[in-house]
């Protein structure tokens, strides 16, 4: 709750053409987080706001200037009426929170961040291991295919060697047959010559 007050600058002059904007930082029974409420002071800088309890970021919007974050205020159910300055200067929850508790909260946030990073790294490691397993399986399959190809090549070489040996044997057999035929022809020619000589001798004797 605010009472009527004048929004002024450092010299006490009223700030004109300014909008006071309250952005809810938390949910409450009557306010939804991130919702905006605003108030436009009059030309004399006077304003009056009836604010639901909750925590708000205070933003000042002055025409011709960028938005200015004035601070954070907390309005409780039992808060007494006061000015914007009263609430901005009031002690906040962060001010009354023990330093040890703040450090503990920071440690919890840090631990949660590290846990998230560890989870992410574990997922990446699992993916890498799975990819490595696939690569190993593919390499094993390629090696098996290479062994099969080598075996087939060896069998082809063996069959080629056998074919060459058979061809050599056939060539040797053909050469032997040709030599035998030549010898038979020579013997036949000699027998014919001897028969011709015998015929001529017989004719001479008869004459």
Q: For the segment 59-82, what is each residue's pLDDT rounded down to a tens digit?
A: 999 988 899 999 999 999 888 888
Per-range mean pLDDT, top range of 29-33, 138-142, 156-160, 191-195: 29-33
pTM of the model: 0.43
pLDDT of residue 102: 67
Percentage of residues in the chain having pLDDT higher than 90:
20
* Burial (Cβ within 10 Å: 0-12, 13-18, ≥19) of residue 56: buried
Of the two residues 185 and 79, the one the predictor is more confident about is 79
Tell me how many degrees the CA angle 81-87-90 measures, rounded to the nearest 5: 120
């Amino acid at each position: 709750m605010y009472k009527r007050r004048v929004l002024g600058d450092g010299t006490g002059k009223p700030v004109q053409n300014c909008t006071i904007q309250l952005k809810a930082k938390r949910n409450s029974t009557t306010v939804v987080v991130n919702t905006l409420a605003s108030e436009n002071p009059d030309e004399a800088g006077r304003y009056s706001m009836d604010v639901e309890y909750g925590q708000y970021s205070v933003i000042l919007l002055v025409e011709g200037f960028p938005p200015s974050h004035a601070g954070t205020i907390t309005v409780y159910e039992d808060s007494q009426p006061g000015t914007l300055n009263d609430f901005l200067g009031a002690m906040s929850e962060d001010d009354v929170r023990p330093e040890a508790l703040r450090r503990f909260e920071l440690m919890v946030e840090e631990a949660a961040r590290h846990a998230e990073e560890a989870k992410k790294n574990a997922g990446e490691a699992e993916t890498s291991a799975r990819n490595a397993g696939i690569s190993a399986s593919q390499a094993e399959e390629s090696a098996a295919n290479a062994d099969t190809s080598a075996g087939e090549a060896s069998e082809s070489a063996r069959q080629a060697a056998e074919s060459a040996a058979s061809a050599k044997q056939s060539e040797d057999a053909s050469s032997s047959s040709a030599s035998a035929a030549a010898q038979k022809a020579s013997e036949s020619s000699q027998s014919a010559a001897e028969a011709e000589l015998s015929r001529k001798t017989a004719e001479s004797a008869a004459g």
